[in-house]
A and B are shown apart, each in its own frame.
Chain A
């Protein structure tokens, strides 16, 4: 099933939650909606589910306007960020609720079988008789996911389902989630504030900010052609380097203090203020490319690689290199990091309330 939102607006009193959302999720696609808290992610999901009514704009499911369609009739299943498990009922009763509800009267025997299969899949068979209050966060999260999967749905709406888990469990569940066949086959709209999760899971990613979708694209598009500095900063750890400076008459980049000069991969008007972005993994100490000269500021081991922060004039440039390359580096030691022009991203300078847009061909 495909889902589309067209120019959807929603306000709660004076607060604007959705400010013209445009979104299209294709049949069978796993779409990640990424944004900070308060960006309108949950409201978007609830609007698709029919739990919130948009002030204007349309929500289409399979090309049909679903304005007056009840939540149940939309055939979607949602996992709430709060899990929203019925605390006064057992795990089994929670899982069977979608199957035995007044609208969906599956015979008891079939329902029991179905719940059993889902519990097996999620490894919670032993918990069925427990009350929800006795479960750990990780177990609750599985039950919540089970309640979503137990009934065949036309689309899954998952609202930060992994956010309350500890790091290890989160990584494990992320892999498991992707491996579940129903999730692979079914249209899924997945909300998260974690860019790593979005990159790992999403066939496509939509970046949402202040109630608007800023950019939609595959992970490659988002990574290599970010819409603006905010999007560029959101993806990748360590964060992208953004160096402020101006465009010279020759069309090259010069940092504010003149210490960094770089050729630009795109044409920008001379004299304009820009930010040049380069990801730490795209800077090397040994490879070829345009050489800069600076000195080691600090090094930090990240497992098999090392993050080296290099001071170049007033700028700090962070780069990630294999451990062998960084061996023996001492603070204040002179180094010559190399940057290739094709790895540079050029942005307009940030202004208050408006991150600088990327200059160059749009996606």
Chain B
């Protein structure tokens, strides 16, 4: 009886918390459904319309939002892919071997995450201008992997460390080469880790604001900056910004839902004696 009461109270507390946490999102949804002339009504009564979405995804008043969206997809996926290609072997190597300067190297990677992006953005801007990387996909992928690579290396390193090296040693004795042991034995066992880190890295890249703000102007601009363009001009169009922001939440959300089942760890169960 008492247990049930406690359960009810906990449920109530959780519901309150969710109302609190989800309120900004609900507000955004309402805002995006408001017609332009009722934008500033403080009541929750208005004539709901999908005009904002139509505008954002269609003619969009001279702002190519769909293009920003595609840009975001390209540079985020690019940054994650590059980080995985470079980061997985790096994480594996640092988990398996102590070589000269290996710890310093790992720390250096981590240190990329210490400094606020603003401290490097001005020199990067100048460099990008000179190198012709300004407002290009290559430039954006390059700079975003500064955010995603340390994440991939550090998280995957701990996954590889948890894996007993005897599995790969067994593979070596079976007749696999080092490389084959890595690809066929070690990698399949850290799939949950790869899924988790890919998602995280994608979200970090997708949500990044400062780099695209300074290092792009139009052709490689991403949704985070693009959504704000609706606020410029003679009259800020909050409803359009809200619609754009909500549209840009979709890819990370979809990704999270797709790989959810991989996020559960435990595939390595049974590798070694329990």
Contact = CB atoms under 8 A, between A and B. Distances in A.
Contact of B174 (A80, A83, A97, A132): A97
Interface string B202-232: 0000000000000000000000000000000
Contact of A49 (B173, B269, B270): B173
Contacts of A85: 170, 270-272
Lowest 10 CB-CB distances: which A-B pairs, in order? A133-B270, A103-B175, A101-B175, A87-B271, A84-B166, A82-B272, A84-B170, A87-B270, A104-B175, A101-B174
B7 interface: no
B109 to A, nearest CB: 23
A140 B175 contact: no
A19 B173 CA distance: 25
Given A71-B173, A98-B175, A103-B176, A131 B270 contact: yes
Contacts of A135: 270
B260 interface: no
B70 interface: no
A77 interface: yes
A137 B173 contact: no
A88 B269 CA distance: 9
Nearest to B189: A88
A104 B174 contact: yes
Decide if the interface of chain A is mainly helix, strand, loop or mixed.
Answer: loop
A133 B171 CA distance: 18
Interface residues of A, number: 35
Interface in B176-193: 176-177, 180, 185, 188-189
Contacts of B188: 88
6 contacts: A71-B172, A85-B270, A85-B272, A87-B267, A87-B270, A137-B274
Contacts of B273: 82-83, 137, 140, 164
B258 interface: no
A102 B175 contact: yes
Contacts, number: 88
Interface residues of B, number: 25
Interface of A: 13, 46, 49-51, 70-72, 76-78, 80-88, 97-98, 101-104, 131-135, 137, 140, 147, 164
Interface string B247-274: 0000000000000000000011111111
B173 A82 contact: no
A140 B274 CA distance: 10
B108 interface: no
B166 A82 contact: yes
Nearest to A74: B173
Nearest to A132: B270
A71 B169 CA distance: 9
A98 B170 CA distance: 9
Contacts of A76: 173
Given A132-B270, A140-B273, A51 B169 contact: yes
A80 B172 CA distance: 13
